[in-house]
A and B are shown apart, each in its own frame.
Chain A
Amino acid sequence: MVNPVRNKKLEETSGRNNQETISNGVKFEIHDLNIWFGPAQVIKHVNMEIRSNEILSVIGPANSGKTTFLRALNRLNELNTNYRITGAIELEREDIRGIKVEELRRKIGMVFALPLPLPLSIFDNVAYGIRMHGERGKKKLEEKVEETLRQAYLWEEVKDRLSESAFKLSGGQQQRLCIARTLAVRPEVVLFDEPCSGLDPISTAKVEDAMVKFKEKFTIVLVTNNVKQAARVGDKTAFFLNGELVELDKTDRIFTAPQDKRTDGYVRGKFG
Chain B
Amino acid sequence: MKNPHITQNIAFFFLFLATLLIVVPVGFIVFVIIQKGLPAIDWQFLSDIPRHGMRAGGIFPAIVGTVYLVTGTIIFALPIGLLAAIYLSEYSKENLLMRLIKLAIVNLAGVPSVVYGLFGLALFVIFFKFGASILSGSLTLGIMILPIIITTSREALESVPYSFREVSLSLGASKWQTIRNIVLPNAVPGILTGTILGLGRAAGETAPILFTVAAFYLPQLPSSIFDQAMALPYHLYVISTQVPNVDEKIRYGTAFVLLALVLIMNLVAIIIRYKFRKRKKW
Interface residues of A (CB under 8 A from B): 74, 76, 79, 81, 102-106, 109-110, 112, 114, 116, 118-120, 128-129, 132-133, 165-167, 178, 181-182, 185
Chain A residues within 8 Å of B123, by CB:
none
Inter-subunit contact B163/A112 (CB<8 Å):
yes
A166 to B186, CA, bound (A): 15
A-facing residues in B138-190 (Cβ within 8 Å): 163-174, 177, 181-182, 186
A-B pairs with beta carbons under 8 Å apart, 10 shown? A76-B169, A79-B169, A81-B93, A81-B94, A102-B173, A105-B172, A112-B163, A119-B281, A132-B174, A166-B281
**B275 contacts partner chain A, Cβ-Cβ < 8 Å:** no
Chain A residues within 8 Å of B51, by CB:
none
Inter-subunit contact A132/B281 (CB<8 Å):
no
In the complex, per-residue mask of B250-282: 1 if CB is within 8 Å of any chain A CB, else 0: 000000000000000000000000000000111
Chain A residues within 8 Å of B164, by CB:
116, 118-119
Inter-subunit contact B171/A106 (CB<8 Å):
yes
| B45 nearest CB across to chain A (Å) | 47
The 4 closest A-B pairs by CB, nearest first: A106-B172, A129-B171, A132-B173, A105-B172
Scoring A74, A79, A118, A120 by chain B CB atoms within 10 A of each residue's CB, the highest score goes to A118
* A181/B171 contact (C-beta < 8 A), A132-B177, A166-B281 known: yes
- What residue in chain A is nearest B177 (Cβ atoms)? A132
Chain A residues within 8 Å of B280, by CB:
119
Inter-chain residue pair count (beta carbon < 8 A): 68
A110 to B167, CA, bound (A): 8
* A116/B181 contact (C-beta < 8 A), A102-B173, A106-B171 known: no
**Given A119-B282, A132-B168, 16 additional A-B pairs, CB 8 A:** A74-B170, A79-B165, A79-B166, A81-B93, A102-B172, A105-B171, A106-B171, A112-B170, A118-B164, A118-B167, A119-B164, A119-B281, A129-B172, A132-B173, A166-B281, A182-B170
Inter-subunit contact B282/A167 (CB<8 Å):
yes
A102 to B176, CA, bound (A): 11
| B182 nearest CB across to chain A (Å) | 6
A153 to B93, CA, bound (A): 42
| A113 nearest CB across to chain B (Å) | 10
Inter-subunit contact A185/B94 (CB<8 Å):
no
Inter-subunit contact B168/A128 (CB<8 Å):
yes
Q: Which of B93, B170, B186, B282 contacts A105 (CB 8 A)?
A: B170
- What residue in chain B is nearest A132 (Cβ atoms)? B173
| A163 nearest CB across to chain B (Å) | 12
Chain A residues within 8 Å of B94, by CB:
81
Chain B residues within 8 Å of A165, by CB:
281
- What residue in chain B is nearest A104 (Cβ atoms)? B172
Inter-subunit contact B168/A118 (CB<8 Å):
yes
Q: Which of A104, A112, A181 contacts B166 (CB 8 A)?
A: A112
A112 to B161, CA, bound (A): 14
| A143 nearest CB across to chain B (Å) | 19
Chain A residues within 8 Å of B182, by CB:
118-119
A112 to B165, CA, bound (A): 12
- What residue in chain B is nearest A105 (Cβ atoms)? B172
| B276 nearest CB across to chain A (Å) | 11
A70 to B122, CA, bound (A): 57
In the complex, per-residue mask of B116-151: 1 if CB is within 8 Å of any chain A CB, else 0: 000000000000000000000000000000000000
Q: Which of B165, B170, B173 contacts A110 (CB 8 A)?
A: B170
